Amino acid sequence: MEYIDYYKVLGINKNATEKEIKKAFRKLARKYHPDVNPGNKEAEKKFIQINEANEVLSNPENRKKYDKYGKDWMHAEEFEKAKQQYQQYQRQYSANTGHSYSSYDNEDFSEFFSSMFGGGFRSSDRTRAKFKGRDYHAELQLNLTDILKTQKQTITVNNKKIRLTIPSGVETGQEIKIKNHGEKVPEGGVNGDLYIKFNIVNNTVFKRDKSDLHLEVDLDLYKAILGGDLIVNTIDGKKLKLKVKPETQNNTKVKLKGKGLPVYKKEGQYGDLYIKYSIKIPTNLSPKEKELFTELSKLR
């Protein structure tokens, strides 16, 4: 995965406080929001990066991992767990061979850890104890738009290609087990398993709540008062025409049933899309407009 300097994205230094992070995010989010930059792909890309940077740096635990592991911060737990497993293996090796490790072998561990993430595991002449092989743990990152349909994807573990079926609607933290694709052990032992945890990155302007989606849409004052038609995009790129009722109030919510995300492992079921109207007050009024608004205020 390409390294992105989240501090640079938000224009802050590594010692920034939570308050400074929040302030920087809000300022940039307003500047690059798709509603302010309609049709501007660069602004949309920047907006997604800003959201991603904020999600990581505004979470103290994630920020700590990011500061320590950089682009591999999402593998922090797997890395630490793998380190413990490898040290356990060293002790088991010593017990079965009579040879001891005097110190932690970083090269050997790097070799082991790389096997978990497709880097390959070079064979050695060490005698393997006849026990269950180590389980491998890896993380697969997908965009939110990748989970709209069930898909197949091929990953490489230990120089071996494995074809996965990824169910639509999968959520961050959900895990699948692939039996016998962990560490291979000699005859008489049991091969380890491979566990793949999903991390879903929101690359859209929608907010996700399980299988439901939320979207804030700007509504001009005149349409809010008089009513009319409004076109909105769904997450799959389709356009929907909404009927705005006359005298619609600010923050009014509209529910579009079945226009959310697929429900995980429930074929044919979908969440809902919730639209919240944000009424925009007109600015830079002409003298005539001011006159008309004055007349309206007198009528009220």
Contact 53, 26 (CB under 8 A): no
- Please report which confidence band the pLDDT of residue 92 belongs to, taking 50, 70 and 90 as the band edges: low
Query: What is the pTM assigned to this prediction?
Result: 0.54
What is d(CA 244, CA 275) in angstroms, rounded to the nearest whole number?
11
Separation in Å, CA 75 to CA 49, 116, 133:
20, 11, 21
Residue 183 has pLDDT above 60, yes or no: yes
Higher model confidence: residue 160 or residue 128? 160
Give the rounded distance of the alpha carbon of 284 from its chain centre.
40
Higher model confidence: residue 91 or residue 209? 209
For 48-77, the pLDDT digits (tens) are 889 889 989 999 988 988 888 777 777 767
- Please report which confidence band the pLDDT of residue 85 belongs to, taking 50, 70 and 90 as the band edges: low
What is the phi/psi pair of residue 68, to 5°?
Answer: -85, -40
What pairs with residue 153 in β-bridges?
164
Tell me what pLDDT residue 251 has: 94
What is d(CA 245, CA 227) in angstroms, rounded to the nearest whole number?
5
Nearest to 147 by CA among 72, 196, 203: 203
- Pairing relationship of beta strands 212-220 and 273-280 according to DSSP bridges: parallel
Nearest to 208 by CA among 169, 241, 174, 239: 169
Taking the alpha carbons at both ends of the chain, their separation in whole angstroms is 60
Please name the residues in contact with 244: beta carbons below 8 A apart, sequence gap of 6 or more: 219, 223, 224, 227, 228, 229, 230, 277
Lowest mean pLDDT among 9-23, 110-124, 235-249: 110-124
DSSP H or E stretch at residue 176: strand 175-178
What is d(CA 214, CA 227) in angstroms, rounded to the nearest whole number?
22
Lowest mean pLDDT among 104-108, 185-189, 241-245, 250-254: 104-108
Residue 125 has pLDDT above 50, yes or no: no
Per-position DSSP letters for 41-85, written without gaps between them: HHHHHHHHHHHHHHHHHTSHHHHHHHHHHGGGGGGHHHHHHHHHH
Higher model confidence: residue 230 or residue 88? 230
CB atoms within 10 A of CB 139: 18
What is d(CA 235, CA 200) in angstroms, rounded to the nearest whole number?
15
The three-class DSSP label of residue 277 is strand
Tell me what pLDDT residue 191 has: 85
Nearest to 148 by CA among 285, 21, 271: 271
What is the phi/psi pair of residue 211, to 5°?
Answer: -100, 0
Higher model confidence: residue 126 or residue 136? 136
Lowest mean pLDDT among 17-21, 122-126, 221-225: 122-126
